[in-house]
Structure 1
Amino acid sequence: MLIKLLSIKLVSRFSMVCALAIALLLISPNLAKAESREQAVDRLTDFLFYKVNPQLNNRKLQTGDREYIRQWQKLREAIDPRVKSVQEVCTGVTPGETGWEFTTINGQTYEQTYDLLADTIFYSRHPQRTGQPIPKDDKISISEWSAIRYYMYISNCGI
């Protein structure tokens, strides 16, 4: 009888611990999904890179994709200083809320930031033109830059 009573208590305690563990996982999913700053920078870089290179169909870059790799690296360099903690960037953040957001730096507006990111991709595609503005009569380059810029958008602070 005593053994039966002890086994019921053990099963009961085990069930309680399991239920508590499951409840904690369901209530706070962010604990399991915490993203490092580096992962956030890579995620945002991938997001923009594949938006302006839809022909890649989100495929993983290969060793032979040197031009795309250089483009991705340049874009990452431009994005890296713009990724800040949600606590630092967003207003109305609840205490304990974590995560990373894309923001402006050095007093730039978002328009200027997106222009800079479009420049980064355009000039990584055309490194011989780096530092030179696109001539007003070069409709093909203007169209390419405009298409790059059009696809650039990152929501900030859940907006």
Structure 2
Amino acid sequence: MVCVFAIALLLLNPNPAKAESREQAVDRLTDYLFYRVNPQLNNRKLQTGDREYIRQWQKLREAIAPRVKSVQEVCFRVSPQEKGWEFTTINGETYEQTYDRLADTIFYSRHPQRIGQQIPKSDRISISEWSAIRREMYISNCGL
């Protein structure tokens, strides 16, 4: 009887869901934010000639990677069977500070000559660009 049930499950769902690895979760979250701040790409796969976008994606991934932890570490009231990965803060940062840092990552990857420099209050164009990036920075976690 158990064998019949198992075979039926396999036939109804020939591609059983596999658990997402931590690296896959980091890539998924990086893709999500990257394409939010670059809507002109229409979620198209990056190509060899997209050097600036590739560098931007890599910098964003570096910033996101340490912030992806197991659901068990991040979420309260999680059952022992729940598995997966969640986005969280690190080093005592608030979520606001975390999203500001991710916006900085994108902005300065677009403008590497300005790394280490604050955006002057008189530079309205850069402030506007940074603000547009920051508006798109949000990842829900723990089912919120």
What is the TM-score when the length of structure 2 is the normalising length?
0.93
Q: Give 1:62 shift.
A: 0.3
Matches within 5 A, 1:2-151: 17-23=3-9, 32-151=17-136
Higher Rg: 1
- The offset of 1:156, in angstroms, is 1.2
- How far did residue 96 of structure 1 move? 1.7
Distance 1:145 1:25 in 2: 50
Deviations 1:32-91 (A, max 9, x none): 230000000000000000000000000000000000000000000000000000001000
Aligned to 1:10: none
Deviation at 1:24, TM superposition (A): 8.4
Question: Unpaired segments of 5 or more residues in structure 1?
Answer: 1-12
SS of 2:69 mapped into structure 1: strand
**Distance in 2 (alpha carbons) for counterparts of 1:49 and 1:94:** 31
Which stretches of structure 1, 4 residues or more, deviate above 3 A after TM superposition? 20-26
Say yes or no: does 1:158 pair with 2:143. yes
* Matched position secondary structure for 1:84: strand
**In 2, distance between residues paired with 1:95 and 1:22?**
28
RMSD between superposed Cα atoms in Å: 1.9
What is the identity, as a one-letter code, of the residue corresponding to 1:62? Q
Q: What residue identity is the alignment partner of 2:6?
A: L
Distance 1:140 1:38, change over 3 A: same
Which of the pair is proportionally richer in helix? 1
Structure 2 unaligned segments of length 5 or more: list them: none
SS of aligned partner of 1:101: strand
Give the Cα separation in 2 of the matches to 1:33 and 1:107. 33
Alignment coverage as a number of residue pairs: 142
